[in-house]
Structure 1
Amino acid sequence: MGIKKVKNIVWGLCLAAIASFTFTGCSKKNDPAPEEKKVAVKFTVTATSAGVIDETDITIQAAAANGDASQYGAPVWKINGVTQNNEDNIFLKGNQFNGSTKTYVLETVKPFGMATIGVECTNRGTTPITLTFNTQVDGKVQTNVENLKVMPGEGYDKQFTYTAN
């Protein structure tokens, strides 16, 4: 056998080996996607003022979502223990704090991939508004703000995002 013929046979064997690894090394089935980590979120907020809190003075927004579509068409939040309809966003307005209820507890019905809490207070009144809020993620306190005074003509705006670690 000549050297040229041996080289051709070696190259042919190498190409055949590469082709067999290429076509048989990976199966057509995809590996299962890793399971999304999820968290349960509980947010407690209290707002008080010596005066009347206007509807536009305070906006509390809570939202939760998953990486899949499992939250759609199902309850997401409870407010003070009452399951809300299929709403993934919850809003509280300032005038809701004027009655006998000064504290609201927003909590997810089941664990979610992430949750966001927005706290906005623009005091248009003549007396200070005092905010106290706390967020627990899987039972552990993540955010704790006590007796934050928003003076007349001032504002406070903060967004918090919570995900599984």
Structure 2
Amino acid sequence: MLAMTAFVSTGCGGKDDDPAPGTKKMNMKVTISVVGLEASDNVYFQIGAANHDASQYGSPVWKMNGTTQGNTHTIELKEQQFLGSTKTYVLETVKAFDFGSLNFDYSNDGAPLTVSYKVEIDGKVKTNVQNKVVPAGGTDDQNLTYKPE
């Protein structure tokens, strides 16, 4: 009993201890804008956040433009969302997660369009592409992943 008491009293760290590897979490904020999109253009953004276990399921993961979304760990934005009056979407995690991603592809078949996307992890900008003009015939695709520091 004395040995167990000694272990418990010395084995528990204070709040200044670093978390165990793989236990750090992060909050993610993604801002995406597409201006000048025409119906013939193709745009697809997929934003995701998850944990290394199934703990993200069954509860909201994302807020989009301030509104909490359903129980999905990914949000997809396609050209239809940018053809209306909303040209900018801000997606934020509801709670902290183990990792996140931004995957996108777009192709411009008409007049030039302008694409901007910014990813912030715990308030720090990690990816920032602003006002990238995509000429007729221009394309791009990226698969970006993020994890806590």
| TM superposition score normalised by structure 2 | 0.82
Task: Tell me what 1:109 maps to.
Answer: 94
Selected match of 2:33 from 28, 31, 46: 46
* Partner-residue secondary structure (3-state), 2:86: coil
Selected match of 2:136 from 127, 146, 152: 152
Superposition RMSD in Å: 1.9
Matches within 5 A, 1:24-43: 34=20, 36-43=23-30
The CA deviation string for residues 88-138 of structure 1, in whole angstroms up to 9 with x for no partner, is 1110001211211110001111110000011211112x2011001111100
**Larger proportion of helix:** 1
In 2, the alpha carbon distance for the partners of 1:139 and 1:60 equals 21
Q: What's the CA shift for 1:53? A: 4.0
In 2, the alpha carbon distance for the partners of 1:129 and 1:137 equals 27
In 1, the alpha carbon distance for the partners of 2:58 and 2:135 equals 41
Q: Please identify runs of 4+ aligned residues in structure 1 that moved more than 4 A.
A: none
| TM superposition score normalised by structure 1 | 0.74
In 1, the alpha carbon distance for the partners of 2:112 and 2:63 equals 29
* Partner-residue secondary structure (3-state), 1:158: strand
Aligned length: 131
Mapped pair 1:79 → 2:64 = yes
Q: Percent identical across equivalent pairs?
A: 44
Mapped pair 1:67 → 2:49 = no
